[in-house]
Amino acid sequence: MSLKVDQDHSRFRAIVRGKIRQNLRKYISQGELIGRKGKDLVSIPVPQIDIPRLRFGDKQQGGVGQGDGSPGDPLGGEGEQSDGAGKRAGQGAGEHVLEVDVTLDELAVILGEELQLPDIQDKGKSKIINEKDRYTGIRRVGPESLRHFRRTYREALKRQIAMGSYAPEKPIIVPIPDDKRYRSWKTESEPVANAVILYMMDVSGSMGDEQKEIVRVESFWIDMWLSKQYKGLESRYVVHDAVAREVDRETFFHTRESGGTMISSAYKLCSQLIDEHYPPEEWNIYPFHFSDGDNWSMDDTLSCIDIIRQKLLPRVNMFAYGQVESPYGSGQFIKDLREHFGKDERVVTSDIRDKDAIIGSIKDFLGKGA
Amino acid sequence: MEKVRSMSEFALRTALPSYLAKEQEKIEAFARAAGLDFFPTVYEILTYDQMNEIAAYGGFPNRYPHWRFGMEYERLAKTYEYGLSKIYEMVINNNPSYAYLLEGNSLTDQKIVMAHVCGHVDFFKNNFSFRSTDLDPGGTTTDPAKRPKNYDPNRRWIDKMANHGARVRRHVARQGMSKVEDFVDQCLSIENLIDPHAAFRGKRPVKSLDEDEKATEIPRLRAKDYMESFINPEEYLEQQRRKMEADKEREKRNPLHPERDVLKFLMDNAPLERWEHDILEIIREEALYFVPQMQTKIMNEGWASYWHSTLLTTKILDASEIIDYADNNAGVLATSGGRLNPYKLGVELYRNIEERWNKGQFGKEWEECDDLATKKNWNLRLGLGQKKIFEVRALYNDVTFVDEFLTAEFCRDQNLFSFSWSHRNDRYEIESREFKQIKNKLLFQMTNAGNPFVYVDDANYENRGELVLRHDHQGLDLRADYAREVMRSLFRLWKRPVNLHTQIEGKHVMVRYDGREHATRHMRT
């Protein structure tokens, strides 16, 4: 049922979207939203949207209460909560925070608008066409099985009232063929574009918690943007130090190894995964690799470049490499990649210095519309 | 009831089922027998989302379009969905009154609501504050205490609010949604700068044009010739002359007297387009409509709670319903986390007054008695309680109610305390249990409905056409970031620089906004 307030509500939602857009950079660099992700909703804390009025400052006034306690006791058992909660309330300067639910799709649209991300261009890889019937309208002819009872009844009622044959005390409605209404449908065909993101991450000793957090935040937004672009999105996770192995999402973000780093091991596994599961004619493939840029040897780097050129690039939409700065890494790998693939648009490299750089790097990765 | 059916009849099609209509008849009969005197009341039964919608609109089925109603709706819908709160009842001050019942509530709950509503509507009809919402032409509001026997005022606010909606929608159609909504935002941010007593204020005498003529001569005190130079010395005459000139100069000022009704002043003096003027007028009228409700929150809720519990426990309920009733009633009157509950405070105060007047615990002798034991057992068996509370509900508002009837004994019995923000511990803390302090704090909070006193002082400041608002500082500073935003809104309306005279941390300052930036200047006092 539609309500009158719906219009006001959608105006409010538009204002909220504006607020989210304004604060998007903050949300992204603080990684605030990730913990709040539901199935397809994110709950976003927006500063209370308020109409400013002349009124007294919040904390000067105090008030009157009722109940037990002696002077100096905290109010309303607030003290029983953890100190952290009390502090946070304090810093907020009495500001109320509004929790707004936004669908991931909406959030992706906002992200796209704010970063001016182009939609991904069709690479002709989506050849599978899915056909779907949808009921879209009402017709006067059709099979009896699709007869719309309510509409038919209403037409008959209208006709009987107009003809004067309707008696309220004996409300019998008999439809004639002319009254009958049927549902009608349209067949829509939509391409089923499948995509897979192959996340690879260096988990050698030099990648600390902070670096992993950056990867986590970044992957959240990449996931979101690509799942807006593709109907079916899969993610696979590969961690590596000197050897690579596939893990689940949870492990991906929490593993820490101490060995050396052989990046080629991850690329080999990545290529193998594509071989086994993702035929490039049916899949859009996005390998993302995050590392601090410290590879074991120049030889290994050269074999990495070889794998990218021979095995990956012919089959993927783009190859993305994000280098997270760490105090231990030399950061050489990104330079090597740039040297070898400098002109190749399919290879995207990005330097992520700290959390504030995440937003720029998202734009680096997704800004090409590949 | 039939005669006032109008547009509002079509607002909702949610008639009361017959078993509830029967209950209504029964409950209203009991209420009338107990002495309540209310407008005819129309009940509608609503689903929870309809209820949330109407609550978001402040009880009205139709308002002007604005996003904040949408925000309120979202908040209500969410707290309902999470099971945090549920609106049981709503009633609007309208003649006939409209009240809403939530579909699916138990019969006991619906009975409580109906009895509660009887109390509210009686209060709307009889408390003097609400006479400012009478729409009759000719101002029946001039003497609120005296009213005709068959008092049947025009309070068709449902229709009026719906008309406001239509007017704003028409402006939206012409000017565009965001332009109008933006202007409404500006108006709303000064919505509280009205004179809550505007309806009762009457008009200031207007000086006629030829009145100036006569008083140009300097008035001399009567004296015999030889005394003239002593009684009317040169310096005195000079002083008088200057005073007269100053008076004359003052008369040229606009406004003549500090003007509390900032909205009205802007309507009369700001360079507004027609549609802007219209919207400002709508906002002001609606703000004034809600004033009595803010002025009598404790009294009104207390009165309604007093009557629902009296009527239900003595007349309406049977034994099988009493547990449900007690459960619900306990929820309504609960105080949690040390917060003051207006329902609870109100009902306890009425009961306290009733008991005191029944026992004769008032007057000079009572007040002068300082023997606790005597006071405790004081009972003159006067039985004036009922009469007194009916009188109180007609002639008081929250401020006078608390001021007159909140006694030290009551304060102690109810376990009241005052609290304040502790900077050291970064939290609110109980400040005191001392009667004087508690009462002062409570009264301060309710004075002017918790709003600062702000006046228009000058509309031609420094002869530059700048507006000066003065905040009558009574111990609390204004919230600075909001004040700056409000000045932006004022500039948008006034279109010339706007000044706000206030105090910040004890120092007099003049904040000026010229359309680009805010500047703060300290003032000598």
The predicted structure's pLDDT at residue B1: 36
Question: d(Cα B275, Cα B171) in Å, to the nearest integer?
Answer: 6
Nearest to B419 by CA among A55, A57, A70: A70
Nearest to B140 by CA among B149, B153, B129: B153
Question: d(Cα B253, Cα B421) in Å, to the nearest integer?
Answer: 42
Question: d(Cα A7, Cα B492) in Å, to the nearest integer?
Answer: 26
The predicted structure's pLDDT at residue B275: 96
Provide the residue type at B106 as one letter.
S
Report DSSP state, residue B259.
Answer: B
Residue A331: CB atoms within 10 Å: 15
Reported as type and span, the H/E element at residue A349 is strand A347-352
Asked if the model's pLDDT at residue B523 lies above 90, the reply is no
Residue A318: CB atoms within 10 Å: 22
Half-sphere exposure of B136 (CA within 13 A, CB side): 12
- Give the burial string for B113-140 (b: 16+ CB within 10 Å, else e): bbbbbbbbbbbbbbbbbbbbbbeeeeeb
Interface of B with A in 141-180 (CB under 8 A): 177
Percent of chain B with pLDDT over 90: 54
Q: A227 is written with which tokens?
A: 């799942």
User: Most confidently modeled of A352-361, B16-25, B193-202?
Assistant: B16-25
Contact A60 B486 (CB under 8 A): no
| The model's pTM | 0.76
For A102-116, B48-62, B313-327, which range has the lowest pLDDT when averaged over its residues?
A102-116
The predicted structure's pLDDT at residue B255: 86
Asked if the model's pLDDT at residue B361 lies above 80, the reply is yes
Contact B337 A69 (CB under 8 A): no
The predicted structure's pLDDT at residue B97: 94
Q: Which residues of A touch B438 (CB under 8 A)?
A: 64
Question: d(Cα B386, Cα B353) in Å, to the nearest integer?
Answer: 9
* Residue B438 touches chain A, beta carbons under 8 Å: yes
Instruction: Yes or no: say if B499 and B511 are a contact pair by the CB < 8 Å rule.
Output: yes
Of B70, B429, B481, the CB nearest to A72: B429
User: If you average pLDDT over residues B475-497, what whole number do you get?
Assistant: 93
Q: What is the ipTM of this complex?
A: 0.81
- Give the burial string for A71-105 (b: 16+ CB within 10 Å, else e): eebbbbebeeeeeeebeebeeeeeeeebebebebe
Percent of chain A with pLDDT over 70: 85
For B204-226, the pLDDT digits (tens) are: 666 666 655 555 677 777 778 88
Interface of B with A in 91-130 (CB under 8 A): none
Q: B95 is written with which tokens?
A: 């003649």
| Average model confidence (pLDDT) across chain B | 87
Reported as type and span, the H/E element at residue B366 is helix B363-368
Question: d(Cα A260, Cα A240) in Å, to the nearest integer?
Answer: 9
Of A15, A60, A66, the CB nearest to B335: A66
The predicted structure's pLDDT at residue B213: 56
* Residue A79 touches chain B, beta carbons under 8 Å: yes
The predicted structure's pLDDT at residue B411: 92
* Residue A10 touches chain B, beta carbons under 8 Å: yes
Question: d(Cα B499, Cα B488) in Å, to the nearest integer?
Answer: 11
Asked if the model's pLDDT at residue A244 lies above 60, the reply is yes
For A160-217, the pLDDT digits (tens) are: 988 888 888 888 888 998 899 999 888 876 666 678 889 999 887 777 778 888 888 8
Tell me what percent of chain A is helix, strand and coil, each rounded to the nearest 5.
45, 25, 35
Nearest to B315 by CA among B96, B463, B69, B112: B112
Asked if the model's pLDDT at residue B285 lies above 80, the reply is yes
Q: How confident is the model at residue A129 (pLDDT cuts 50, 70, 90)?
A: low
Question: d(Cα B133, Cα B126) in Å, to the nearest integer?
Answer: 12
The predicted structure's pLDDT at residue A36: 58
Instruction: Give the C-alpha distances (Å, rounded to integers) separating B452 from A51, A193, B192, B199, B472.
Output: 16, 61, 9, 20, 7
* Residue A190 touches chain B, beta carbons under 8 Å: no
Instruction: Yes or no: say if A271 and A316 are a contact pair by the CB < 8 Å rule.
Output: no
Q: How confident is the model at residue B459 (pLDDT cuts 50, 70, 90)?
A: very high
Question: d(Cα B57, Cα B87) in Å, to the nearest integer?
Answer: 13
Question: d(Cα A297, Cα A261) in Å, to the nearest integer?
Answer: 9
Q: How many residues does chain A have?
A: 370
Q: B194 is written with which tokens?
A: 């009205």
Contact A53 B181 (CB under 8 A): no
Count A/B contacts: CB-CB distance under 8 Å.
Answer: 198
For A270-324, the pLDDT digits (tens) are: 999 999 988 887 788 889 999 888 888 888 888 888 998 888 888 888 899 999 8
Calculate the dihedral angle through the C-alpha atoms of A308, A313, A317, A320, rounding to the nearest 10 degrees.
Answer: 20
Reported as type and span, the H/E element at residue B160 is helix B157-175
Asked if the model's pLDDT at residue B3 lies above 80, the reply is no
Provide the residue type at A192 as one letter.
V
Chain A: give the shortest CA distance to residue B472, in Å: 12
For B386-398, the pLDDT digits (tens) are: 999 999 999 999 9
Chain B: give the shortest CA distance to residue A161, in Å: 21
Q: Which residues of A touch B452 (CB under 8 A)?
A: 54-56
Contact B482 A5 (CB under 8 A): no
The angle at the Cα of A255, spanning A251 to A261, to the nearest 5 degrees, equals 125
* Residue A137 touches chain B, beta carbons under 8 Å: no
Nearest to B475 by CA among B455, B498, B445, B435: B445
Interface of B with A in 339-368 (CB under 8 A): 339-341, 344-345
Instruction: Show the beta-strand stretches assigned E in B54-146.
Output: 89-92, 97-102
Find the closest chain A residue to B482 by CA distance. A52
Q: Which residues of A touch B71 (CB under 8 A)?
A: 12, 49, 98
Calculate the dihedral angle through the C-alpha atoms of B134, B135, B137, B141, rounding to the nearest 10 degrees.
Answer: 20
The predicted structure's pLDDT at residue A285: 87
User: If you average pLDDT over residues B46-52, what whole number do you get?
Assistant: 89
Nearest to B312 by CA among B300, B298, B297, B327: B327
Contact A9 B452 (CB under 8 A): no
Provide the residue type at A171 as one letter.
P
Half-sphere exposure of B224 (CA within 13 A, CB side): 2
